[in-house]
Amino acid sequence: MSTATARAYQPHFAGRFMPSRTRKSPQNKAFYGHRDTYSGKAHCIKDRVLLDICCGTGAFLISALARIKQNVWVQKISEADKVKKYADAQANSLIGVENDPSMYALAYANMRFHGDGKSNLFNCSSLLIDSYAPVDDSGKTYLNESKIPLHEALQSFGDIDVAMINPPYSLDKKDNSASREYPLIAKKNELEDKLKRISKQIRELKKKEQTASVISEIAKSEKEKKALDEALAKCEAELDANRMREVVISKGQDELDFVASMLHYLKVGGIGIVILPMSCAGNSGTKLRAELLKHHTLLACMTMPQNLFFDSHVGTATCIMVFKAHIKHDENKSTFFARWQDDGFKVIPHNGRKDAGGWNAIKSTWIDQLDGTAAQDEYVWLKKKIKTSDEALAEAYIKTDYSKLSDNDFEKVLKKYSLFKYMDEQGILEG
């Protein structure tokens, strides 16, 4: 099964834990406010908006809708107010984007089946490069019968508070940036090239004998240079005003490009949560991750159970990364790291992964760890200051408890590696 298809079967963690997370903690003010969106507290849900730009068949959105309903119904308000508040949340709180037409159709049907009142779903690419530097209509969608770029459509919803995504994995990493360039960057590069040429020309003219004609030519060139300087300054201002600096780092070739898209669409201080291959948090993702952290804060990274995607037949090792949008990563503040490798689910033959009865307790423990109220355990979780160029994997900082390793563990790993090498050499790995 491809990773695109696997997104139709979102793991239980994302649907059941993520909507209940990101609450305010007294120790770490970075996680604030958003758990109240889906908690039982009497907060106004209608003003909260949740986005999934890789919604697949809509699992995240359906889970969030169920949580909204649960939290509205426990509030101490009249039945009429509950119905009104829930209807308002149904119509305005959930937005989904899916590029695959068949998955989009399933997501729409699922949302309608589960009682979504409006289904704010868009069938188009969610990558920034397709919306801001289109070569076709893949990054455009319909809104009020007009076909417009996705970023314009999402702007019509106002502030987006939370985003949760599980992007497609195993993307084509070939560099096609030469054929895809953002218009504003192309304009900026053109102005910079002209400035270099005119500056060189002025320097050469000043070396010549200062005749009347040379002086006149210098004056003309300096006037042209001044105009170019002003145009470049205007271009730079436009980059800042429209947050285009955080847009143009995305080339549409990496899972982290979906993270860049997700964070761009959030309000300042909005929370973005994403399930990614561990490579995105490791050394191979350093370059683009460092660019992301120039504009956004990494709040947390948690390693997931190895068989999280067992039911989808995808063996990718994953982690969950949590970001705060549009606030530069502060290297003087700590990031939360954890190895959450046991979620209490067991693989049942012919039945897939099922809760063995421990999930609720484990979820509570994980939330306590995020809040900093759990007992310190250097083998499971910690908070650490990192630089934008550092690895963002928990494994880079959390100690290994060698007392829990046995010869059998090493034997299992060696057997798995041998099987992988054999399958790779035989060309039978899914590709």
Could you report the per-residue pLDDT of 96-124, keeping only the tens digit for each? 999 999 999 999 998 888 776 567 999 99
Higher pLDDT, 372 or 98: 98
Can you give the pLDDT at residue 311?
67
Q: What is the dihedral sign for C-alpha 35, 39, 41, 42?
A: positive
Provide the mean pLDDT of the chain: 84
Q: What value does the mean pLDDT take over residues 154-169?
A: 92
Q: Are residues 201 and 330 in the same domain?
A: no
Could you report the per-residue pLDDT of 211-237, keeping only the tens digit for each? 999 999 999 999 999 999 999 999 999
The dihedral formed by the CA atoms of 17, 20, 21 and 27, expressed in degrees to the nearest 10? -130
Q: Is the pLDDT of residue 5 over 80?
A: no
Q: What value does the mean pLDDT take over residues 19-28?
A: 38
Does residue 19 sit within a domain? yes
Q: How far apart are CA 6 and CA 209, in angstroms?
A: 73
Q: What value does the mean pLDDT take over residues 123-148?
A: 92
Q: Is the pLDDT of residue 41 over 70?
A: no
Can you give the pLDDT at residue 179?
61
Q: What value does the mean pLDDT take over residues 201-212?
A: 93
Domain boundary among 205, 222, 242: 242
Higher pLDDT, 408 or 428: 408
Can you give the pLDDT at residue 34?
30
Can you give the pLDDT at residue 421?
84
Q: Are residues 114 and 17 in the same domain?
A: yes
Q: Are residues 108 and 211 in the same domain?
A: no
Q: Is the pLDDT of residue 393 over 70?
A: yes
Q: What value does the mean pLDDT take over residues 410-428?
A: 83
Instruction: pLDDT band for 37, please (50, 70, 90 cuts).
Output: very low
Q: Is the pLDDT of residue 9 over 50?
A: no
Boundaries of domain holding 349: 6-176+246-396
Q: How many domains does one find in the chain? A: 2
Q: Are residues 256 and 235 in the same domain?
A: no
Does residue 1 sit within a domain? no
Can you give the pLDDT at residue 176?
52
Could you report the per-residue pLDDT of 48-68, keeping only the tens digit for each? 899 999 999 998 898 888 888
Does residue 408 sit within a domain? no
Does residue 416 sit within a domain? no
Residue 424: exposure state from Cβ atoms within 10 A (0-12, 13-18, ≥19)? exposed
Is this prediction's pTM over 0.75? yes
Q: Are residues 17 and 165 in the same domain?
A: yes
Residue 241: exposure state from Cβ atoms within 10 A (0-12, 13-18, ≥19)? exposed
Q: Are residues 25 and 89 in the same domain?
A: yes
Can you give the pLDDT at residue 80?
92
Q: Are residues 268 and 382 in the same domain?
A: yes
Could you report the per-residue pLDDT of 321-357, keeping only the tens digit for each? 999 999 999 999 999 999 998 888 888 887 888 888 8
Does residue 74 sit within a domain? yes
Instruction: pLDDT band for 28, please (50, 70, 90 cuts).
Output: very low
Beta strand pairing call for 94-97 and 50-52: parallel
Q: Are residues 208 and 257 in the same domain?
A: no
Q: Tokens for 380? A: 């499971």
Q: What value does the mean pLDDT take over residues 25-41?
A: 32
Q: Tokens for 27? A: 């120790």
Q: How far apart are CA 76 and CA 42, in angstroms?
A: 8
Can you give the pLDDT at residue 395?
93
Could you report the per-residue pLDDT of 304-322, keeping only the tens digit for each? 988 787 766 667 889 999 9
Closest of 41, 56, 51 to residue 18, by C-alpha = 51
Q: How far apart are CA 340 and CA 303, in angstroms?
A: 6
Higher pLDDT, 125 or 311: 125
Can you give the pLDDT at residue 47?
56
Q: Tokens for 331? A: 């290297």
Q: Is the pLDDT of residue 127 over 80?
A: yes
Q: Tokens for 206? A: 């000043």
Rg over alpha carbons for the chain, rounded to the nearest Å, is 25
Domain boundary among 226, 242, 258: 242
Q: Are residues 235 and 331 in the same domain?
A: no
Q: Are residues 381 and 357 in the same domain?
A: yes
Q: Would you say 276 and 171 are in contact if contact means Cβ atoms under 8 Å apart?
A: no
With a pLDDT cut of 90, the percent of the chain lying above it is: 53
Does residue 148 sit within a domain? yes
Can you give the pLDDT at residue 416?
82
